[in-house]
Structure 1
Amino acid sequence: MASHAGAAVPEPRTIVADDGWPLAVRHWAGEQPRAIVIVVHDLRDHTGRHNRWAKHLADSGVDVVACDLRGHGETTHAVDHGMVEPRPVWRTLIADIGRVRRYALAELGVKPVFLVGLGDAGTDLVQSAVQAQGRQYAGAVLIGPGGVGRPRRTLMRWLSRLGYGCRGPTASATWLDRWPARVYQRRAGHKRGVARDASGSPTMWRMCAVEPAAAYAADPLCGGVLRLQTLAGVLAGAAEAGRRSRRLRVPPELPVLILAGRRDPVGQQGRQPRRLARQLTNDGYRDVSHYCYDGAGHDLLFESAGDDVLADLITWIDRRLTAAG
C-alpha cells in the first residue's frame, strides 16, 4: 500500500440537511471512479481521523465521501459534542445519511453507491439505512459490528431515558456512558493481558496496536461523553436495527460484507459478527461475505491487519461492480 500517513486531510465542505442543519462532509476524489463509497463513522469519532485509508481507497478508483455525524467533529461545535438533535435521534441520523447520498450523486455523478459503517454504532446505522433505502445502494459493508448485548443495552436505555427525564436531554451521565467501555476493557484484558494499559488510556480496548490507540485518546475530537437524550436514542435505534422484522426489509439481493477482528471485545472476539452473518444468510440474504482477522481489534483499519482489510474491501467492491456490469 502506498503510504498516505502525511497526506493532507481534505477540508470539510458544509451541506444542508433536510431539516436545515449544517453537516460537515469530506470528499476523497478517486481517479476515473467507478463507484461512490459513503463512510459512516462510529460514535465518539470523526471523519478526519480516517484520512490515510480513505485516500488509499480513493486511489483504487472510487470516490469516498464521509460526513461528521451530528454531535461530532466539524459538524458540531466542541461545546455541543455528544448531543444529537433534534429528536428522534436515530431517524435524524438515518435521514442525514440519505442526504449525503443525494449530495454525492449530485456532485459526483450517478454511480453505484456502497455504504460502509465503522464500529458498533456505524454498522447499526448502516443496517438501518439499508433497511429503509436498500435499493438505493449497491452494497453494505459492516466493519467491527457488535455491542454490549441485549440485556445491558435494554438496561442502559431505560436508565438514560430516566436520566434525561429527570435532568434534561442535554445532561450527561459519565458512568452510564462509559459502561460499555468498561465491559470492553474487561473483555480485552482477558484476551490481551496488560497490553491494553500501555498508554494508561481507557480507550485501549479499541485497538491491539498501542500507537493508534494512544493517538485516538489524544485526539480532541475523539472520545467524549454522549448526552442522555442522544444515548437513549442511539440505544433504541440499535435495538430496532437488530430486529428480524427490520432485517427482512432489506432487498435479499443486496451484497453485504462483514469484517471483524478476532480480538475485538465489542464483537466478543469475532463471535457476534459471525452470528450476524449467519442470521443474514438465514433471513434470505443471497450475498453475505464474512472475514475475521487474527490479531486485530475493534478499529480494524488502524491495526497491523489494516492493509489486508482494505485490500479485501477493494477486491469485494471490484467484484460486485464487475458482476453488475
Structure 2
Amino acid sequence: MKSVSTQQRSGPEFEGVSFVLAEDGHEIPLRHWPVEHPKALVHIAHGMSEHSGCYADTAARLNAAGYAVMAHDHRCHGLSVPIEALGEISDTQHWEAVCADMRSVNRYGKSIYPDAPWVLLGHSMGSFISLAFAERHSQNIDALILQGSNYEAPWFTWSAHWFAKFECWRQGENSRSPIIHALTFGKFAKAFGTDNTSYNWLSRDNTFVQRYTNDPLCGITCSNGFWRDFLVGLSRTQRMSNLRKIRNDLPVYSFAGSKDPVGNDGINVAILDDKLETAGLIDVTMKIYEDARHDLFNETNKDEVYEDLLSWLDDTLLRVAQPACELKPQQEPTAWLAGNG
C-alpha cells in the first residue's frame, strides 16, 4: 500500500490529520476519533464552506456513546488545498471526484473496522453527497443520516446550473459571482434581517457564529465552476430514477430546523422524505426542531438534538443484524494513511 508524504504539512491545523489516497491520486485529509469495540463507525460528510475539523464536538459526543467517528475534507475545502485555493475546483468532473472520495474513505474505514456497522452522516451539502453515495453503494452502509438537507426539483437545479455555467463563461471558472452569492448565502442571511455577510442563519448561538466567522477555513465563497458542477450533481442525485437505486430497507433519519432557510424552513425536508418514501424506502424518519436554524449540532438546543440522534442510532443498530458488506473495488485500493494523526 502506498503512503502519502506529509512533508510540508506542519502546523497546528494538521494536528490529528492523516491522508487517504484517492483513486485519482488526490490526498484526502482525514480526521479519525477512535473508540475500542465501537457500536458503529460514523462517517461524517461536512457541508459547504466548512471542514471536517468543525465536527470535533460531534465526534466527542458520539465517542462518549460508543461510536467511532471519521470525517474528511471534501475537495477545495479545509486542508485539501492551500488556503488561497479554497472554493476553486481543479477537476473536470468535480462532483464525481467528491463522490469517489467517499468511496475511498469507506474502503479505508472498513479496513480499520471490518466488523462495525457503517453509518453515513451528511450535513447540508454533505447530505447531498451522502445521498449520492447511497444511490451508488447503499449495500455498503447500514444507516443514513441527513442533517440540514433540502429538496429542489431537478429541473430547477438543472436550470440553475446553466446560470452558473454562464457565469463561468462571463467571469471565469474560478471567479466568484456576486449574483450566485446573493441568491444563496446572501439570501439565507437576509432571512434574518442581516447583511449578506452574516452567518446568523446558521444558529441562534452567537458564540458559535463568532467562532465560525473567525475560522479561516469556514465561510469561504465557492467559485462559479464549483457551483456549476455541484448543481449538476444535485440535479442528478434528486431524480426519482436515482433515488430508486437506494435499497429500500436502508434506515434514513433526516432532521432540520423550522427556521432553516436551506430547507425552506423544513418544508423541503419533508418533501425530500416524501420523495424517498415514493422511491420505495420503508424506514424513513424525520424530525423538525421548532425555531432552530441550519447547523443543529451547534444550536442552542443541541443537547436535545444529540439525545434524539443517539436514541435513533441505538434503536436502529439493534435492528442491524450484520454490518453492510465490504465495498468491492473495481481495482485494488491504492493507499492509505500516513500522517500526523
TM-score, with structure 1 as normaliser: 0.89
Instruction: Indicate which of 48, 55, 68 corresponds to 1:50.
Output: 55
In the alignment of these two chains, the number of paired residues is: 309
Q: Deviations over 1:149-184 (max 9, x none)?
A: 767644532122122235443233233234211222
1:318 aligned onto 2:314: yes
Moved more, 36-45 or 312-321: 312-321
Alignment of 1:163-182 (within 5 A): 163-182=167-186
Residue 98 of structure 1 aligns with an amino acid whose one-letter code is R
Q: Name the CA shift for 1:9/1:144 in 2 (closer, same or farther; >3 Å).
A: farther
Letter in 2 for 1:184: F
Q: Please identify, of 243-252 and 209-218, the stretch whose mean Cα deviation from structure 2 is larger.
A: 209-218
Unaligned ranges ≥5, structure 1: 1-7, 190-195
Contact 1:118 1:143 in 2 (8 A): yes
Residue of structure 1 aligned with 2:111, choices 92, 106, 115: 106
Q: Distance in 2 between matches of 1:110 and 1:38?
A: 15
How far off its partner does 1:324 sit?
1.8
Report the equivalent of 2:97.
92
The residue type paired with residue 269 of structure 2 is P
How far the C-alpha of 1:202 sits from its partner, in A, is 1.9
Tell me the equivalent position of 1:264.
260
Q: 1:230 aligns with which of 226, 230, 242?
A: 226
Q: Higher relative contact order at CA 8 Å, sep ≥6: structure 1 or structure 2? A: 2
Mapping of residues 1-325 of structure 1, within 5 Å: 11-119=16-124, 121-146=125-150, 153-189=157-193, 201-325=197-321
Distance in 2 between residues matched to 1:185 and 1:151, nearest whole Å: 25
Superposed CA offset, 1:284-323 (max 9, x none): 2110001111221000100012111112111112112211
Structure 2 CA distance, aligned partners of 1:311 and 1:9?
A: 31
Which moved further from structure 2: 283-292 or 172-181? 172-181
* Runs of 4+ that moved beyond 4 A: 147-152
What SS does the corresponding residue of 1:74 show, helix, strand or coil?
coil
The amino acid of 2:44's aligned partner reads V
C-alpha distance in structure 1 between counterparts of 2:302 and 2:14, whole Å: 19
State the TM-score, normalizing by the size of structure 2.
0.85
**Structure 2: which 5+ residue stretches go unaligned?**
1-12, 322-341
Q: Which residue identity is paired with 1:209?
A: D
| In structure 2, C-alpha distance between the alignment counterparts of 1:214 and 1:47, rounded to whole Å | 18
**Which range moves more in the overlay, 103-112 or 288-297?**
103-112
In 1: Cα distance, 2:159 partner to 2:222 partner: 16
Distance 1:89 1:33 in 2: 33
Contact 2:153/2:235, CA 8 A, preserved across alignment? no
1:107-161 superposed Cα distances (whole Å, 9 cap, x missing partner) = 2333211110001x11111111100111100011000012677676445321221
Other structure's SS at 1:188 match: coil
CA contact (8 A) 2:29 2:79 kept: yes
Give the Å deviation of 1:262.
Answer: 1.1
Q: Tell me if the contact between 1:123 and 1:143 (Cα under 8 Å) persists in the aligned partners.
A: yes
Assess, with a 3 A threshold, how the Cα gap between structure 1 residues 150 and 133 changes in structure 2: closer, same or farther.
closer
1:147 touches 1:266 (CA, 8 Å); kept in 2?
no
Report the identity percentage. 25
What do residues 73-99 of structure 1 show as CA deviations (whole Å, max 9, x unaligned)?
A: 111110110023312111111100010
